[in-house]
Amino acid sequence: MIHPIVKLGDPVLEKPAATVTAFDDQLKKLVEDMFESMYAAHGVGLAAPQIGVSKRIAVIDVTFKEDPGAKLVLINPEIVSKEGRQRGTEGCLSIPEFREEVTRAKIVTVRAQDVKGKFFEHTGEDLLARAFLHETDHLNGKLYISHVSALKRDLIKRKIKKLVKAGEW
Ligand code: NI
């Protein structure tokens, strides 16, 4: 089932999500829905709060359907190590039409659980490293615009306010 994507302004995006404790069929279904919703929105990563579910779950596919083996499910993820630096533009399905340059670590290792509750570690570089950081941030109630200058952030927020007023957000 495709869920609508929650946009900036909804408080669910700015509060820490709850730890997942039940690794059941309901969780599996939620993860399937998240992939479906992410692809429908043309994204390469999605965190559960973005469909209004405040739980520590993220799905990632930086190949966007090209490599089925690249699909990653992160439950209760924690960043365990970060190395190097990369600069690049970043966007978010919850802040559509905006993109900003964000400096992130280049190599990132995440520790998480799979849908069955089994722990694993995964190291990603470049876009995947960026996705690990971006999605884990979401689960901590943090958006990528918290990594840009206050000036740029205020500009984005002002533009969004106008869109809200015009009924276009
Ligand atoms: Ni995002």
List CB contacts of 145: < 8 A, sequence separation 6 or more: 8, 95, 98, 100, 152, 153, 156
Amino acid at 164: V
- Whether 4 maps to a domain, the answer reads no
For the chain, what is the domain count? 1
List pLDDT tens digits, range 122-140: 999 999 999 999 999 999 9
Cα–Cα distance for residue pair 91/96, rounded to 1 Å? 7
List pLDDT tens digits, range 54-74: 999 999 999 999 999 999 999
Q: How far is residue 26 from each of residues 52, 83, 142, measured CA to CA in Å?
A: 16, 36, 26
- Whether 99 maps to a domain, the answer reads yes
The Å distance, Cα 136 to ligand 1 centre, comes to 10
121: annotated active-site residue: no
Q: What is the mean pLDDT of residues 44-60?
A: 98
From the list 78, 125, 135, 168, the catalytic residue is 135
The Å distance, Cα 102 to ligand 1 centre, comes to 13
- Whether 19 maps to a domain, the answer reads yes
- Whether 119 maps to a domain, the answer reads yes
Q: What is the pLDDT of residue 44?
A: 97
Q: What is the mean pLDDT of residues 35-49?
A: 98
The Å distance, Cα 23 to ligand 1 centre, comes to 24
Cα–Cα distance for residue pair 117/119, rounded to 1 Å? 6
List pLDDT tens digits, range 93-103: 999 999 999 99
Residue 41 — pLDDT band, cuts 50, 70, 90? Answer: very high
Q: Which CATH number covers residue 94?
A: 3.90.45.10
Q: What is the pLDDT of residue 30?
A: 98
117 is in which domain, residue-wise? 11-165
Supply the mean pLDDT for the chain. Answer: 97
The Å distance, Cα 91 to ligand 1 centre, comes to 7
